[in-house]
Structure 1
Amino acid sequence: MADRSAGTVAETHAAFARDLSLHDIPPHVAQLARHCLVDALGCAMFGRQLPWSRMILAEAVETGSGGPCEIPGEPGLRLHPPQAALALGAFCHAFELDSLRKPGAGVHAGATVALPALAVAQAVGASDDDLIAAIVAGCETMFRLGAATLHTPEKSGFHAPGLTGPFGAAIACGRLMGLSATQLANAQGIAGSLASGLLAFAASGQGGMVKRLHLGRAAESGVLAARLAARGFEAPHAVIEGPYGFLDAFCSDTAPDLLTQGLGTNWALETLCLKRYACHITAHAPVEALRGMMADHGFGGAAIAEISLQGSEKLVSHHAGKAPTDIGLAQYSAPFVLALSAYRDPEDPAAFSDDALTDSGILDLMRRITVTERPGGGAKGWGVDLTVVLRDGTRLTETRDSFEGTPERPLSGEQVCGKAMRLAGDDAAEMEALCRRFLPR
């Protein structure tokens, strides 16, 4: 691969993406990209049925029908690439089921890289091998961008995937379109001006539906950035690290060295994390711990007197709310999700239904859950200390720093396809064909 030691970050990322071939990618990394794509398709199959997704799809159809892109689960419907990316990205993130990175960095690979890349691959007639290489290129650059932010944009109220997503989508889609390195750098410059997304929904207690839109818009923005760059549209190449650039504008603390460190030798996609539960990732460790306790000791939700949860600063500041007014906000609340998991199977997305918002058992237990920061410097990450006190006085404690689906405990290809098939529901036959295509045994 070409020397990428000089130039701006956007130029370095562009040269990497342009030069990358499937032969450069270790087989296990390419397999992770396939897992990411299949998981995203399953999430989108499920998410497309939800009311907020239907609204977004109606807008996409009205503004972009008649294109070359098929939408899984929507036979006969074809959209142009930007509108397909908008719909698919929003579908994928529609119910808190889509992939991300561990440790968290505000990046969602399935919704903002894999699915917009799939839409563009259809439009340009790219091979599946080219698609997988493009997904790897987009993830390798986007994951590094997210890591360099130190997850600080969300401290100021930005929803990070809406900021990082356009960059990852622009790289993946631009590569599939055959953009030059200069055009790919311009695409990132354009993406920087399309980055958006606010966490007002998390603080206001109302309007959680908008969260789903952020990732659809990020996917759409990446496609738009690549298409404009292909037409010769120019933008600043110092968009990431330069004055008034991405890091300067959105972050209170940064690690710029991470933007290019190990690019092409250390594979950021190895940090891919796939979800088992339809909730924010900060709830996964305590839910898995609680469900394990319930299985080992044979108790249910009614037997629990109180729960104490200790975790990260972000868990306390962003995910400890106890007054969700819609299911989107409920999925964002660790106390609500933990209480729901005491009464319902959290691996079944149907458990997160609107009636859970008025379930007296869930609401009562939620109010008896306390969330505090871990002592002794454990203010970051997804690890938790969970203490459950039963009504008979039994006290159970567990520390959990990883869970199934994390890089330490990855899902197998069979598990990935199994999740996707379950999520596809009535469209399981179509999903099975996609599994065979992208994850051949």
Structure 2
Amino acid sequence: MEKLKYADLTDLHAHTDDNPALDEKAGTTAALCEWAIGLQAGDVPPAVLARVKHLILDGLACGLVGGHVPWSEQAAEAIYGYEPPGYCSVIGYGDEALGPLAAAILNGAFIQATELDDYHSMAPLHSASVVVPAILSAAQFLSTGNGRSKDKPTRKVSGLDFLLAAIVGFETGPRVGLATGGGELLVRGWHSGAIFGCPAAAVASSRLLGLSADKTESAIGIACTQAGGLMSATYEGMIKRVQHAFAARNGLFGALLARNGYVGIKKVFERRYGGFLSMFSKGTNRSPPYDVRRVVEELGTTWQIFNIRVKLHACVGGCHGQIEAIAKLQAEHPERFASEVLGKIVSIKVGLSGPIFAHDGWAPHERPLATTGAQMNAAYIGAVQLVDRQVLLAQFADSTLNRDDVWALVDKTSCFHDTRFDQPHYGCGARVTVVFDDGFTVEGVVDQPRGFDPPIQDEEIKEKYRKLAASAIADQARIERLEKLVLGLEDLEDMSEIFELLALPTAKVL
């Protein structure tokens, strides 16, 4: 029998002077931690401070709406059934507080519950659903739960503390994602944001908890060794809603352990054997497979925060270009796309980027789809835009998922990989070609859906917040007060009122 041959591990552990992208001695993880703990308000441009406040507001709006949709209520019922009471508030659930990790799970699941939360256009990630739940729990740990430790008294958490923690988290997630190839993880079936959201939550939590750079590095290592998330969650079930919340919990868990001196993996980004970037880039065709430099490249000068996009449609961000391409065709050819003549459509072809085609271009394998699958399926999303001329939460209610007029169009839709959209920042664009029974053919192309260049303006984010909040909260004064507090975070001495406003009960919206 031929002797088994093992790969030569010498080069695997060697310092690669010839390829700085893979340099195990780059000091990248430590450099990120030093920046995160050292960042001061004066280091952050006013435009970044303003944008992050609005991104937090957008995430909280999604959480207010998401807490009482059916799948969120089922998650809450299960978790409240086994978790003991705690001191961290859960959005919309009154006095039913939980421990920090359980609260982070539910709050993250609520923010991600309706597919209305933000997304990054180069490194697919829902930042608010990862970072905000982690630092909400960390802040309440400091102000309430920390009192269990006699040598570590409770303290107030200021809005500025919270804001700076959010900034380092919002910067970290996309950078780690870019270092692994961005959408490459989606192509290979990983839920990308649930993976590189772990270090984002760890850095944000560590910053808020006041950890040293060394302990922050441990927190990142603890978070990264828990990272995971399977994209087969797209098709059915409810667990996709919770996977970004796993990252929030994992990062917070890492920071809470490291705070007490527990040592995690060091150099977790640089390590070639079993390192975060090395392992999650396995199977890629890229050369080099990952680039450790991108984690800290232009850190503090180029802000990834401005590549976090705000959603205007209640579905996966990768299909927003498709929605807008169809809307464009509807406006240009009103007689062809009138409701009564949609049956004359023979075929619909949708061209998508490689990651989005892998993620959302699949042919439905059953009818009806679950809500999760419907919000992740390009054919279904396009069909509801054709029929309803909008893609909002109502389009994904159980009562709407099995309509014959929608499924007739779903069955006529096929998706393909269009390399045009593999360009930077084109990943959420689409090409839609519609053929009618008389041979008439129209095509619409959107390279970048609305909100890329220019991005959604802060005033528009406020309008989105107000609409979403009003659907879940009857008390207008509460809506206005929460908005005022969040948009004035840098001047807020104590976050307690925000915790209280978020915890007050909210209504069902679906």
TM-score (norm: length of structure 1): 0.91
Give me the whole-angstrom Cα distance separating, in 1, the residues matched to 2:309 and 2:73: 27
Q: How does 1:51-66 map to 2 (within 5 A)?
A: 51-66=70-85
Secondary structure at the counterpart of residue 194 of structure 1: coil
- Is the CA contact (8 Å cut-off) linking 1:309 and 1:369 kept in structure 2? yes
- Of the candidates 119, 123, 131, which is equivalent to residue 100 of structure 1? 119
Instruction: Find the counterpart in structure 2 of residue 164 from structure 1.
Output: 196
Cα 1:405/1:114, change in 2 over 3 Å: farther
Size of the alignment, in residue pairs?
Answer: 431
How far did 1:414 drift?
2.6
- Is the CA contact (8 Å cut-off) linking 1:92 and 1:110 kept in structure 2? yes
| Matching of residue 350 in structure 1 with residue 394 in structure 2 | yes
- Is the CA contact (8 Å cut-off) linking 2:64 and 2:472 kept in structure 1? no
Instruction: Find the counterpart in structure 2 of residue 386 from structure 1.
Output: 432
How far did 1:65 drift?
5.0
Segment drifting more, 154-163 vs 271-280: 154-163
Residue deviations 1:384-428, cap 9 Å, x none?
Answer: 22223345655332221112233x132222321222232231315
Give me the whole-angstrom Cα distance separating, in 1, the residues matched to 2:120 and 2:419: 25
- Is the CA contact (8 Å cut-off) linking 1:66 and 1:79 kept in structure 2? yes
Give me the whole-angstrom Cα distance separating, in 2, the residues matched to 1:7 and 1:315: 32
- Is the CA contact (8 Å cut-off) linking 1:40 and 1:115 kept in structure 2? no
| Matching of residue 214 in structure 1 with residue 243 in structure 2 | yes
Secondary structure at the counterpart of residue 372 of structure 1: strand
Give me the whole-angstrom Cα distance separating, in 2, the residues matched to 1:419 and 1:187: 34
Residue deviations 1:123-152, cap 9 Å, x none?
Answer: 323111111111111111211001111132
Residue deviations 1:109-128, cap 9 Å, x none?
Answer: 11001232123223323111
Secondary structure at the counterpart of residue 423 of structure 1: helix
- Is the CA contact (8 Å cut-off) linking 1:65 and 1:77 kept in structure 2? no
Give me the whole-angstrom Cα distance separating, in 1, the residues matched to 2:353 and 2:421: 9
Give me the whole-angstrom Cα distance separating, in 2, the residues matched to 1:265 and 1:64: 43
Instruction: Find the counterpart in structure 2 of residue 143 from structure 1.
Output: 174
- Is the CA contact (8 Å cut-off) linking 1:82 and 1:224 kept in structure 2? yes
Cα 1:415/1:62, change in 2 over 3 Å: same
Give me the whole-angstrom Cα distance separating, in 2, the residues matched to 1:58 and 1:377: 42
Unmatched runs of 5 consecutive residues or more in structure 1: 1-5
How far did 1:302 drift?
4.5
- Is the CA contact (8 Å cut-off) linking 2:268 and 2:275 kept in structure 1? yes
Give me the whole-angstrom Cα distance separating, in 2, the residues matched to 1:301 and 1:147: 42
- Of the candidates 168, 178, 181, which is equivalent to residue 210 of structure 2? 178
| Matching of residue 244 in structure 1 with residue 274 in structure 2 | yes
Instruction: Find the counterpart in structure 1 of residue 376 from structure 2.
Output: 332
Instruction: Find the counterpart in structure 1 of residue 459 from structure 2.
Output: 414
| Rg larger for | 2
Segment drifting more, 75-84 vs 384-393: 384-393
Secondary structure at the counterpart of residue 443 of structure 2: strand
Give me the whole-angstrom Cα distance separating, in 1, the residues matched to 2:298 and 2:78: 41
TM-score (norm: length of structure 2): 0.79
The letter for the 1-side match of 2:292 is P
Cα 1:426/1:51, change in 2 over 3 Å: closer
Segment drifting more, 32-41 vs 350-359: 350-359
| Matching of residue 91 in structure 1 with residue 110 in structure 2 | yes
Instruction: Find the counterpart in structure 2 of residue 3 from structure 1.
Output: none
Give me the whole-angstrom Cα distance separating, in 2, the residues matched to 1:354 and 1:326: 8
Segment drifting more, 383-392 vs 347-356: 383-392
| Matching of residue 303 in structure 1 with residue 332 in structure 2 | no
Q: How does 1:359-378 map to 2 (within 5 A)?
A: 359-374=403-418, 378=422
Instruction: Find the counterpart in structure 1 of residue 441 from structure 2.
Output: 395
Secondary structure at the counterpart of residue 101 of structure 2: helix
Residue deviations 1:82-119, cap 9 Å, x none?
Answer: 1111111111111211111112x132111001232123
- Of the candidates 73, 78, 86, which is equivalent to residue 92 of structure 2? 73
Secondary structure at the counterpart of residue 409 of structure 1: coil
| Matching of residue 26 in structure 1 with residue 55 in structure 2 | no
- Of the candidates 117, 121, 141, which is equivalent to residue 139 of structure 2? 121
Give me the whole-angstrom Cα distance separating, in 1, the residues matched to 2:191 and 2:115: 14
Secondary structure at the counterpart of residue 456 of structure 2: coil
Cα 1:377/1:289, change in 2 over 3 Å: closer
Secondary structure at the counterpart of residue 290 of structure 1: helix
| Matching of residue 288 in structure 1 with residue 319 in structure 2 | no
The letter for the 2-side match of 1:131 is F
Instruction: Find the counterpart in structure 1 of residue 145 from structure 2.
Output: none
Give me the whole-angstrom Cα distance separating, in 2, the residues matched to 1:375 and 1:135: 35
Give me the whole-angstrom Cα distance separating, in 2, the residues matched to 1:158 and 1:300: 39
The letter for the 2-side match of 1:70 is S
Residue deviations 1:350-369, cap 9 Å, x none?
Answer: 12212332100110011112
The letter for the 1-side match of 2:77 is A
- Of the candidates 239, 264, 279, which is equivalent to residue 235 of structure 1? 264
Give me the whole-angstrom Cα distance separating, in 1, the residues matched to 2:41 and 2:179: 26
Residue deviations 1:231-252, cap 9 Å, x none?
Answer: 1111121212202111111113
Give me the whole-angstrom Cα distance separating, in 1, the residues matched to 2:361 and 2:186: 15
Secondary structure at the counterpart of residue 358 of structure 1: coil
Instruction: Find the counterpart in structure 2 of residue 49 from structure 1.
Output: 68
Give me the whole-angstrom Cα distance separating, in 2, the residues matched to 1:72 and 1:431: 13
How far did 1:432 drift?
3.1
Cα 1:62/1:177, change in 2 over 3 Å: farther
Instruction: Find the counterpart in structure 1 of residue 480 from structure 2.
Output: 432
